[in-house]
Structures are given as C-alpha cells and as structure tokens.
Homo-oligomer: A and B are copies of this chain.
C-alpha cells in the first residue's frame, strides 16, 4: 500500500516508485536540481525535509498526493514499529 502517515513511510514509498522506474537517486537529483544526498535524506525519512523538496521529487517520479481521512489500518501501525 502507498499510505503514508510519517516521513519514514513516505520515504519508503518514494524509494519504491523510484526503483520501479529504474532510476537512481542521482537521476532524480538531476531532474529536480537537488543533490543526490538530499534525495537520500528524503528517502530515509528525515523529518525536517522541506515540502518543496517532496513535491519536486513527486513531480520527477510523476506522482501525486491524495489526502484522505485515516482508515483503520492495523498493518500501517505495525509498520510504524519497524
């Protein structure tokens, strides 16, 4: 599932989509005018990453966000503990 409630989950999802598109962090960095190190930080779930960085990467991966009410999601809460 691609539901995120934390920067960590968001980072993991972005990494999955990036790999699905056969791109490296360096590729994404080039597309977004960011550094490879910055992409690394985002995917690692650094809590301080800026929204602009997130939306830039989403654009590079051709993704978008949907905001929705939380569903009961035991799986996702368990995932939080990992």
A residues touching B (Cβ–Cβ < 8 Å)?
2-7, 10, 13-14, 17, 46-52, 54-55, 58-59, 62-71, 76
Contact = CB atoms under 8 A, between A and B. Distances in A.
Kindly report how many copies of this chain are found in the complex they form together. 2
13 contacts: A3-B64, A4-B65, A4-B67, A5-B64, A7-B51, A47-B51, A49-B51, A50-B50, A63-B68, A64-B68, A64-B69, A64-B76, A66-B68
A64 to B, nearest CB: 5
B66 A65 contact: yes
Nearest to A50: B48
Majority secondary structure of chain A interface residues (helix, strand, loop or mixed): mixed
A49 to B, nearest CB: 5
